[in-house]
Each structure stands twice: as C-alpha cells, then as structure tokens.
Amino acid sequence: MESQESGTPVLESRRARREAQQGTRRSRRSPAQVPGSHRWAPRMAVLGTLAAATIAMPLSAGAEDGSGGGTPFDADGGPTGPSALDLATAGSTAPAVSESVAAAPRVDRGAAASRSYDREPLPGCDPEVRPSGTNGNLDQHALCELWQPGDFLRPDAAVALSALNEAFRANFGRDLCLVSSYRTLSTQVSLKGTRGAFAARPGTSMHGWGLAIDLCSIETGSREVYAWLNENGPTYGWANPPWAKRGGGGAYEPWHFEFTQGVEEMGGA
C-alpha cells in the first residue's frame, strides 16, 4: 500500500495536464465566438458589397446609351437569328413538287380573260380604203363585213360602228342587232316598191354607199337601249339624222342611223 507522500506527485501531475489542456482550448477559440457587436462586422461588409454591385449594374447598363431606361430584365445582347429581309430573300425550302403535279397543265386566267379585249373585231378592215364604184354598185371586196354575217359597210364606217358595238356589248352584254347595212341597187329598187316613202329613191340611199344601218326593233323598242344609242352613238360617229326624227322633214325612221363623217364627204345633209 502506497503512502500519502508517494501519491502527491501523481495528483499534481494530473492537475497540470488538465490545466494545460484547458489553456490550449481557450487559445483556439474563433474570433467569431468573441462576445460583442464586433463579431458581425465582416458579414455586414460582405452583404453591403453585394448590394452595391446589384444596384450599380442596371444603372450602368442603362447609362451606356444615355437613355437611362435599362432594367434588370433587358436582354443581354442584340437579336440573333435571321432578319425579315433575310427571310424574304432566302431561297424557298418547300419540299419538291411531285412529277405528276408539276406536269399538270396550268391555265393563265389573266391571259384568257384579256383575249376577248385584245381580239380584232374586224380583221383586215382598213379604214383608209374607199371602195370603187357607184351607189349600190360598190366593189364588195373592198367593204368590211360586220359581226353579223352578210352585213357590210364602207371600211371607215365599219370600224367606227364596231367600236360603238364594243361599247354596247360592254353595257348590255350582247351585240347590236341590225336589220340592214349596205344595199345593192337592186335591193334599193325592191324596197322602194314595197315600202314607198319609207325607202329612198334608188341610187340615192346612204345604204348604197355603205354609210347607213337600220336597227332591229329590239333596240328601238327599248327606252333604255335607244336612249343609250342616241347618247353614245355620236361619240363614235353614228347618229339618227335630223331628217329621220319626228318632225324632221322626212319619213320618221328612228331605226335609221348614218355615219356622219361619211355622209358629209358625200355631200349629204
């Protein structure tokens, strides 16, 4: 059994080791664990720096162009990808058409619609030509045939009447209807015998010079059509002559129209 003296050095040794360990722990304490307000200073400094950077970035972004209208939601850069001009001028990327579809005939509706306007109403009719011969005995080869087969006029009269007919068709949807045009001398004689005062003396009729027409009753019987003809006919050189009007000094013939310029050339009234 050990004496009390022998145990004293052992106790002192243990106490020294404990104190040494406690001193070591105290020396290792973190500055953040030091009591007082100073322990939050480093954290506040970091937060302040971040806040200042966040506020400064959008303000500086808006100040680059002087507008001051920048926001944190502005795009980082300019637009990317093709512009409208690029898309308009780029080649087509549509898939190729099948051979059967590509080979199908195509109708040019514009050309088809214009053919009716481009057509020549009186092919080969030269308005400068003056047929040789006398009244009712003109060279028929020099006359121009109208849209109605068998009806002829002097070329200049025919061209003018054809123009009137084109305007008539555009307005009424059909051709002007004629009863008579150029008359041979034999025809004039026959009509004088059957119609009396309603027919000119043979050899003096403007029909014999290819300068007159007689209209169908479908034209003279329609107030609208006849009014249109009286209003527009003179524009194309065709008119119901004064003598043929009611009270005009001759037989009343509202259906009889003459090519005014040609009649004046022949010395007619």
Q: Is residue 101 in some structural domain?
A: no
- pLDDT value at position 15? 65
Does residue 13 sit within a domain? no
| pLDDT score recorded for residue 17 | 66
Per-residue pLDDT tens over the stretch 189-202: 999 999 988 899 99
| Axis crossing angle, helix 223-232 with helix 155-172, rounded to the nearest 10 | 130
Q: If you average pLDDT over each of 57-61, 245-249, 258-262, which comes out highest?
A: 258-262
Return left, alpha or beta for 196; rule: phi > 0 is left, psi -120 to 50 is alpha, else beta: left
Tell me how crowded residue 228 is: count the other CB atoms within 10 A of its CB: 16
pLDDT at 262: 96
Residue 198 located in a structural domain? yes
Task: Please check the confidence at residue 46 and state whether its pLDDT lies above 60.
Answer: no
- Specify the higher pLDDT residue, 127 or 96: 127
In a domain, 254, yes or no: yes
Confidence of residue 160 (pLDDT cuts 50, 70, 90): very high
pLDDT at 185: 98
pLDDT of residue 123: 87
Residue 268: pLDDT over 50: yes
* pLDDT for residue 21: 63
Domain-located, residue 180: yes
Task: Give the domain extent around 160.
Answer: 137-265
Q: What is the pLDDT of residue 22?
A: 62
Q: Give per-residue pLDDT as tens, 107-144.
A: 343 333 333 334 467 989 999 999 999 999 999 999 99
Number of domains in the chain: 1
Most confident of the ranges 7-11, 22-26, 199-203: 199-203
In a domain, residue 16? The reply is no
On whether residue 244 sits in a domain, the answer given is: yes
Q: How far apart are CA 104 and CA 118, in angstroms?
A: 27
Higher pLDDT, 206 or 69: 206
Q: Does the residue 196 lie in any domain?
A: yes
Q: Cα dist. 200→27, 117, 135, 240, 257 in Å?
A: 149, 38, 12, 16, 14
Residue 267's pLDDT band, with cuts at 50, 70 and 90, is confident
